[in-house]
Structure 1
């Protein structure tokens, strides 16, 4: 198991998350609400709001059987998501600082229409 992933849902930096996803070692799961996602998200990220996950929605098909890196705006909802997924036996972690830290580090953010996005 990668040192970035533990059943106890360790955390990764935005740069580590970007590298893990780019290398095909994990999928990025954005757990913010739809209006936040629409404003701006990481290219290639999957979307499932934490509220829907907690209501019993399944992971997106592309995330099933894969390592999951959860991300939200600041890191709180994604930490909860990583803990939930880890408790269910999945390899999951989250991004320290969330999308705010992701954007601050200069990592790509896109809007729904493919243009430059913002973090809402």
Structure 2
């Protein structure tokens, strides 16, 4: 996985445009405020939902494993994407902004 392009959470602004590929329950518990939610299994059928970006598009999951696989696949499809190193766990640990769908304190599950 060392050939997967990555970006550190500290190199992203709190309001960064990221694509979150976690499952709906994980998303609902807490996500980056500027994130677009496309579960990993939906990526192939929702390529048109990937946001346009002038910079490499960050892809995030809980810890970086699923998003790493998504990044590898998207790169083969010609997309300019990067894996967010450490995922939402690293995002949360860096005390970056988060929101939840439940109105509860955002968390990473």
Distance change (3 Å), C-alpha of 1:103 and 1:38: same
The alpha carbon displacement at 1:116 in A equals 3.2
The alpha carbon displacement at 1:57 in A equals 2.5
Alignment correspondent of 1:36: 26
Output one character per residue of 1:25-53: Cα deviation in whole Å (capped at 9) or x when no partner: xx300000000000000001000000111
Pick aligned residue for 2:11 from 16, 28, 32: 16
Unaligned runs of 5+ in 2: none
State how many pairs are aligned. 106
Distance change (3 Å), C-alpha of 1:65 and 1:97: closer
SS of equivalent residue, structure 2 residue 43: helix
1:17·1:95 contact (CA, 8 Å) conserved in 2? no
1:9·1:92 contact (CA, 8 Å) conserved in 2? no
Alpha-carbon separation, structure 1, partners of 2:107 and 2:12: 19
Unaligned runs of 5+ in 1: 1-7, 22-26
Alignment correspondent of 1:96: 85
Q: TM-score when scaled to structure 2? A: 0.84
